[in-house]
Structure 1
Amino acid sequence: MEIASLDRFEASRGRLASLAYRLLGSATDAEDTVQDAFLRWQAADRERVEVPEAWLTTVVTRLCLDRLRSARARHERAAGVRLPEPLLEGDPMLGPADTVEQRESVSLAVLTLLQRLAPVERAVYVLREAFAYPHAEIAGMLGITESASQQHAHRARVRIATERRRGSDADPASARRIVEEFLAAAVSGRTERLVELLADDATAVSDGAGLARRLLRYETRERVASLARAGFKPTPAKRRWVGGSPALHIALVNGAPAVLAVAEGRVVGAVVFDIGDGVVMSLHGIAATDRLVRLNQVWRQREPDAPVISAW
């Protein structure tokens, strides 16, 4: 492959990976999809490609749709066994974050809701909301009519707006203070304070460290408070499982504050908070090893802030 064609693809790689991540919810699958697109780019008659960016976006989107329609993906959606893969703030795979819509599209709360949409609805929503493609171009990419693209986008927006409970956004400093107070109450066993810090309709979802047959879901703030108290309570069994007494750090994950448990320089668990109106609206707990690979890669490249709890 000539250098110019290689450079053209590499210039688009980050944007393509960000698109694939939003569609698939997995950094590993996103990287594999972009690599598949590269192989197709190598084999293509590039002289006949009028707009390389549009061609590559179409290829990646259609490869993602193939993955979403696969038997494995359908089984995982039906069983409800996977949460989106969390990404540390600054990871280039998070992609554009210039608008509210772009930032929302990569939040764990919205990525989780996207998993419930039909593949084409998901693709239209991401292309429109996160990448601002006009419906005429989206229709061409997906092989549908412009009217159908508009209808898919409308249905997706309505469903996400209906199921996505949002309060007033907290500024980063206020959100961090809420998380610090929540963590302190959980570790010390002050369940009543935990309840006060949770929204009336708070929810929590956990992957059970990848050991559960399906996602564990909790509703009502009393149940979520009990889960947080049990989850953040240090025990000998938990320390054996993670290989020591981890430090607890607060970091930004998918644009939201999160508590990361770090043992021997490795993130072994993440709890991501959705904050609104001064309270915790939802929690997403991820500890399955295969869902923390990319986050660990980025974590090891940085000098982390001091932990809020040095030995849990």
Structure 2
Amino acid sequence: MKKIILFADTGIDDAITIIYALQNPKIDLIGVVSGYGNVDRYKTFRNASYLLQLGGRSDIPVIAGAMRPLNGDEPEFFPTIHGSEGLGPIRPPLSESRFRFRTNFSKLFQLIKENHDDVTIVNVGRCTSLAIAWILAPDVMALVKDYYVMGGAFQVPGNATPMAEANFYGDAVAANFVMQHAPNLTVIPLNVTREALITPALVEIINASQTSQLGKLIKPMLDYYYEAYQSLEPGIKGSPAHDLLALMAAVDDSNMLRYIRRTGSVEFESRHADGLSIADLRPASVNCFGSNCPRIAVELNYKKFVSNLLTTLT
């Protein structure tokens, strides 16, 4: 089993990712760092706690992540996509106010040190919390085995702006920091997550096999998500599993994704291109000129994605 710490901004796609993690026998979810993003930090923390409670895994610690970007700007939320509470039509019976005054990065560092060189971090929200962790304790973060980040849009349109994907746009400073500093980094960008569609037919198959309270949340959340995407992209055939694909990649042994290695950066403090992800795709850059060289996913085998999805969630 692979030990995973999930950094999330617990909206609908993050919720599906947590459910997948709990149902996948290859994954030992040892912690969730929940920060701002799809909704505010209080709600994301509450949502992660609620999902783990429903799944009978309240033993998994939820760690309070960042509340705003590194540049101090007020974050932009997306209630039209994820609903006002972050989980679409689901209204957790817990008040977010009880989670307002929590910080717990020491617990994150403890988990990493207790599992020296055996932890994979999967970041599926803004990169702020991950960047802060690196700034606070670079020696500890260097003990992480590898990093997977859902973010960026390389040579394709963004989804937050014409240029930028939402996670990188939400904190471009942090995203650039992570791209430059995280070793053994794999980036799962919009290029491939946009192709990882969970169709209504797949949702029905998954729903038919769910017997737990937690599992029965999948269909109403994905139905809501699909309707939201229909207004954004009329005719889209399903719900893009942006965050889920990054977690799948971390435990994939079927070569579901094809990668290249290139130096990368994220544009920040730019008038028109904040959050733009850049990879050096020149032929000579294949060796990255001796610098940090993240893997970037460039192609998805959709049949393998569907097989993985159904094998785990049914």
Asked if these proteins are the same fold (TM beyond 0.5), I'd say no
- Greater fraction helix: 1
TM, length-normalised to structure 1: 0.25
TM, length-normalised to structure 2: 0.25
